[in-house]
Amino acid sequence: MSIIDQFSQVRVLCLGDVMLDRFISGAARRISPESPVPVLSVSSSTAIAGGSANVAQNIASLGGRCTLIGVIGKDACGAELMQILEATSGVQPLFVTAADRPTTEKIRFVAQGQHMLRSDREATAPVPADVEAAILSHVSVSLPDHDVVVLSDYAKGVLTPTLIREVLALAAGRGVPVIVDPKSSDLARYDGATLVTPNLHEIWLATGISGESDDSAVSAGRKVLERTSIGAVLVTRSEKGMTLVQRAAEPVHIPAVAREVADVVGAGDTVIAALALVVGTGAALDEAAYIANAAAGVAVGKRGTATVSRAELLTELDRQSRTVATSSSMKMVSPAAAAAQVEAWKLHGLSVGFTNGCFDILHVGHVGIIEFARAHCDRLVVALNSDESVARLKGPSRPVNSESDRAQVISAIGAVDLVVIFDEDTPAQLIEEIEPDVLVKGTDYEVSEIVGATSVMARGGRVLRFELVPGHSTTQVISRITSDSRC
């Protein structure tokens, strides 16, 4: 079952600042005679669940189930928001009513698709102790039935330091991952969270580092990890994509997919919803980030506070999967990133092939097996032994070419779609992670001797052997070069 298919089994507990987003639209064709301001001729007014309520709706639209805990006022806006959410399949609102606070309402005035003005009705002081206690009670009762927790912090006073600390402790006690969309420059207040997702402005406030370039995003993420006990940081960088920084893994840079941007309102809610669902399936953070990036690409193409459906996400993943990387550098990815891309390809019925080797000095035999493998699948992953792995297998004089050089050369072959470097002596672990449909090796191996063959065939995959080109091997090439050099 694919990751997206598993969304229907994921239960997300979302806690944060709920709000009502109202869009008043019309045409502005004249200036007021009373003062130099445009006059909006109103044609429509639409109310949509916003803030953490939009996160909940995105979770539901993507196929998951969400229990939403938040605070509303004893007012018409609160009643309207409750009505919207109760009509949303997959969302269960558990609201605490605070009589002395208004329901947060953002009113956007829009003319010809452009925002003219926004007015906010809200209270941002921390909620009182009795409301805090009621929220925590809801969390305590609900948590055992959920797979992941989302803290959607819009700095409206619901997520107090005490409440955050208590929720993180409860989640840690049950081994439930917690994902945070922060709005505070003090990211240490989320200590113990599995993942935080600051944007460029938020990461700059937190670290003093811009995060705009790949290197600075990594530096900012690492600074957060050094200062806190947060597990990982995903820096969301608008048109530059995302950067995932983890404690025990190499940073992952995920480029944004080029498309027309209609509106960025609510895109962060879509990201956190997709992240929660993928993490809730038990998948790795790399995979969650790739899928969330695709969901964000859909969201920014819509106007207003938008949700992304499961069908739209599948379509976007399909669109990305059929755009094969042409740049060598884009083909070279980490094992986790490769697994995420393979998952995306498989979602749409594309078969994935796999072959591996040292590929130290590229020769016609290497090209032959790569082309043979690609002829039997829709996408091909080529795995290279790292320099340390080659030295253990071939001796201290090998490899002749470094792993980065070898990866660049293999990436330049048109039949290759992804290149992955692995450190182990065999690709057994990598094959388990990627789960290819087709495994290809040379005829110098019997099927019973091919690493990964048993697991591939157990999943219904195929193991194919390529007839080696006589007289062509790296050892023979090196021998001829050595012999010629002595003449």
* Distances in whole angstroms, Cα of residue 428 to Cα of each of 7, 139, 216, 410, 455: 28, 42, 35, 21, 9
- Residues 257, 282: one domain? yes
Bridge partners, 441 (sequence order): 465
363 pLDDT above the threshold of 50? yes
- Residues 307, 335: one domain? no
Catalytic residue among 269, 286, 378, 387: 269
Burial 83-112 (b: 16+ CB within 10 A, else e): ebbeebebbbbbbbebeebebbbbbbbbbe
pTM: 0.70
Q: Which of 108, 156, 164 is nearest to 136 (CA)?
A: 164
- Residues 12, 64: one domain? yes
Q: Which of 321, 344, 362 is the last residue of a domain?
A: 321
Q: Which of 297, 321, 345 is the last residue of a domain?
A: 321
The pLDDT assigned to 197 comes to 96
- Residues 438, 388: one domain? yes
Tokens of residue 457, six digits: 């065939």
Distance CA 149, CA 276 (A): 7
**Mean pLDDT over each residue of the chain, to the nearest integer:** 88
- Residues 336, 471: one domain? yes
The answer to whether residue 31 sits within a structural domain is no
Distance CA 102, CA 124 (A): 10
157 pLDDT above the threshold of 90? yes
234 pLDDT above the threshold of 80? yes
Per the structure, the complete domain to which residue 124 belongs is given by 3-18+50-321
- Residues 306, 344: one domain? no
- Residues 313, 447: one domain? no
> Would you list the DSSP string of 254-287?
EPPPP------TTHHHHHHHHHHHHHHTT--HHH
Distance CA 290, CA 317 (A): 9
The answer to whether residue 477 sits within a structural domain is yes
Strand 148-152, strand 11-16: pairing: parallel
147 is catalytic: no
The answer to whether residue 33 sits within a structural domain is no
The answer to whether residue 400 sits within a structural domain is yes
- Residues 375, 278: one domain? no
Domains held by the chain: number? 2
The pLDDT assigned to 263 comes to 43
Tens digit of pLDDT for each residue in 96-122?
A: 999 899 999 999 999 987 889 999 999
Tens digit of pLDDT for each residue in 368-427?
A: 999 999 999 989 999 999 999 999 988 888 898 999 899 989 998 989 999 999 999 999
Q: Which residue has the higher pLDDT, 243 or 346?
A: 243
The CATH number that applies at residue 270 is 3.40.1190.20
- Residues 218, 88: one domain? yes
Tens digit of pLDDT for each residue in 134-147?
A: 999 999 999 999 99
